Structures are given as C-alpha cells and as structure tokens.
Amino acid sequence: MRRAAFLLICTLAAGGLASASAQTTIKLGYATTPTSHYGVGSNAFCEEVEKRTSGRYKCQQFPGSALGGEREMIEAVQLGTLDIVNTSTGPVGNFVPEVNIVDIPFLFRDYDHARRVMDGPIGDDLRAKFPAKGLIALAWTENGFRHMTNSKRPIVKPDDAKGLKIRSMQNKVHMQAFQSIGIQPTPMAFPELFGALQTGVVDGQENPIPVILSAKFSQVQKHLSLTGHVYSPALLIVSPALWNKLSDADKKAFTEAGKAASAAQRKKVNDDERDGIAQLRAGGMEVVTAVDNQAFRNAMTPVWADFAKQFGAANIRQIQEFK
C-alpha cells in the first residue's frame, strides 16, 4: 500500500514538472509606457495568447525601452534574444526597405484609409517581405498620425520650421522629407529623446498624440502643431526562433492574438486623438490646429520624385488610390 502511494505521488509530481516545463514565457518589448497605446495593444496580445494556448504561453513585458530603442529590439528579435517587439515602422525600413513606402509624408488621407491599406493586400504583401530578412511580421498595430512639437515657436507653415533641430527616427524617408523644408533632422533613439529635449540638444520632435501624451513631452515642449505629416503604422514582429517552434494550432492562436492587439491598440489611438489635445493644453502646451497642410505638401513635392524612384510611382499611386 505504501509503495502504491509512493508511486502515485511520484507520478503526480512528474506530471506537475512536465506541466510546468510545458509553459513557455515569451519576452515582448516596446518603447513606451505600459499605459500607452503600445502597452494596451501588448496587453491584449498577451492575454489572448495565454487564453488561446490554455496558459502554455505567457508573456513577460519589457516596456519603456527597457531592452533598448526600437532598432535595437528589432535586431534582438532577428537574433532570437527577444521573442516579440511591438514597434513603429520608423526603424523597420533598415531591415525591410520596402516598408519605408508607408512613411512617405501625406500618403494617407485619414485613419480609415490607412487602416484599410494596412489590413488589405498591400499590407499583406509588405508583411510577406519579412521572413527573408529573418523576421516574422505578425500583425499591423498602430502608432498614429505624426505631429511636430518644439520649444521655439508655433509652426503654421513650412517656413516656420526652417532651421529647427528636430529629432528624427532612423528613417531616411523622414529625414529626406524634413530636409526638403529646411528642418535639421537629428536621428536619435527614443530612450534618449526626453533628455535631449530637456537640455536643448534638439529643439523638437515629431510623434503621434498618443506618444506625446505617454512620454509627457508637454513637460519639455511648449508648442504642438497638428501637422499630421506622416501616418505611422506599427507592427508586432516575432522572432523566427520562436515562430518556427510553434505548432500550426499555436501559430493560429498567435495570429488571432495579433488581431486582438491591433484592435485594442487602434482603439487607444482613437481615444487619445479624441481626448489628448485637451490634456496637452492642460499640461501647458500651446496647440496650433490651423496648420497650412497644403503648404507642407507643396513644399515636399520635390522629394516625391525621389520617392517614386525608390518605391515605384505605381506602388505609391496604388496606396493613394486604395478604396
């Protein structure tokens, strides 16, 4: 009897160890705070993954650039030292050059247009470029339309921005567009940005309202201009080292979790767009809503010829005309 009980205990213990060993913790990083749109999207992803895999996969999140800037995190995903990154497309073009097309200024009409493009065949075709570069583009999330802030003066028209040192992502399309209107783009990783604004290393930066809110840039920037010059998608990028270990059923679970993340992150962007301006004004920012967007478009016209050479005029037109 004692032997039978002992064998039963051993069997249960072994089963418990097997169950514990079957649980995999995946590391997910992003640049902003846990309460930001990236945090909301990442939480939704993690909750869905855990639910859809019956707890066999759980997330450990690393917000606030704890693992480095976005470019560093993408490199880590490529190397397999990080499992997933929720990142803007800004630095992605350094790995998958075709993605830079979505960073062309004034390419998208509005959020509805942008989201339909990213969720349709154009977005699918861009995601298909990633495996050849050692990355898996799981789902398009969102960052939002980008606006300019600075500590010097209001920006209403392109001439107002001339000579300003504006932090730029490590993205040649952004830098080329800024140079065309006389801005001095200063490439800089996001973790360095708040300090650089605080000390005057750069005069300003450009980001969507959700980022400006979550990063508390109103503490170090006086002027916000709603230029909406670039729509910034974002991506959940998975390491092939993780993806290739997943069963087909788990790949489907991760894919569905990516869709949930996209929906949650976009909803948070919508909420911040609706409420954020009032919050930033309350934080002391002066907000220019009547920006001369057409003047910005006209001023950037010369660089569109270069973009057509880089990405193909037909490909640009396909995005502009997408219904």
pLDDT in tens, the chain (323 residues): 445 444 444 444 444 444 444 899 999 999 999 999 999 999 999 999 999 999 999 999 999 999 999 999 999 999 999 999 999 999 999 999 999 999 999 999 999 999 999 999 999 999 999 999 999 999 999 999 999 999 999 999 999 999 999 999 888 999 999 999 999 999 999 999 999 999 999 999 999 999 999 999 999 999 999 999 999 999 999 999 999 999 999 999 999 999 999 999 999 999 999 999 999 999 999 999 999 999 999 999 889 999 999 999 999 999 999 99
In a domain, 10, yes or no: no
CATH of the domain at 277: 3.40.190.170
**pLDDT, tens digit, for every residue of 29-84?**
999 999 999 999 999 999 999 999 999 999 999 999 999 999 999 999 999 999 99
Three-class DSSP category at 286: strand
Q: Long-range contacts of range 214-221, CB-CB < 8 Å, 24 or more positions apart?
A: 214/32, 214/33, 214/35, 214/36, 214/37, 215/32, 215/33, 216/283, 217/149, 218/280, 218/283, 218/284, 218/285, 219/283, 220/151, 220/194, 221/149, 221/150, 221/151, 221/197, 221/285
How far is Cα 287 from Cα 222, in angstroms, rounded to an integer?
9
Report the length, in residues, of the chain. Answer: 323
Examine residue 4 and state whether it is found in any structural domain, yes or no.
Answer: no
Helix-strand-coil percent breakdown of the chain, rounded to 5? Answer: 55, 20, 25
Buried b / exposed e over 201-212, threshold 16 CB at 10 Å, is: ebbbbbbbbbbb
Q: Does 15 reside within a domain?
A: no
- Residues 79-110: b if buried by 16+ CB within 10 A, e if exposed: eeebbbbbbbbbbbbbbbebbbbbbbbbbbee
Predicted confidence at residue 3, as pLDDT, reads: 54
Three-state SS at 253: helix
- Say if 233 falls within a structural domain: yes
**Which tokens belong to 148?**
């300019």
Residue 85 belongs to a domain = yes
Condensed to tens digits (0 to 9), the pLDDT of residues 120-143 reads: 999 999 999 999 999 999 999 999
Q: Identify whether the C-beta of residue 74 lies closer than 8 Å to the C-beta of residue 239.
A: no
Query: How many other CB atoms are found less than 10 A from the CB of residue 70?
Result: 26
In a domain, 11, yes or no: no
Check if the beta carbon of residue 276 is closer than 8 Å to that of residue 210: yes
- For residue 74, what are the domain limits? 23-320
Strand bridging mode 184-187 / 136-150: unpaired
| Total count of domains within the chain | 1
Per-residue confidence (pLDDT) for residue 301, from 0 to 100:
87
Q: What is the pLDDT of residue 255?
A: 98
φ, ψ of residue 184 to 5 degrees: the values are: -100, 95
Residue 13's pLDDT is what?
A: 45
- The closest of 33, 19, 97 to 63, measured between CA atoms, is 33
Residue 155 lies in a domain: yes
Q: What are phi and psi of 84, to 5 degrees?
A: -145, 145
**Placement of tokens 């939002």 in the chain:** 144
Flag whether 78 is in a domain: yes
**Quick one: DSSP state of residue 35?**
T
Q: Are 27 and 42 in contact (CB under 8 A)?
A: no
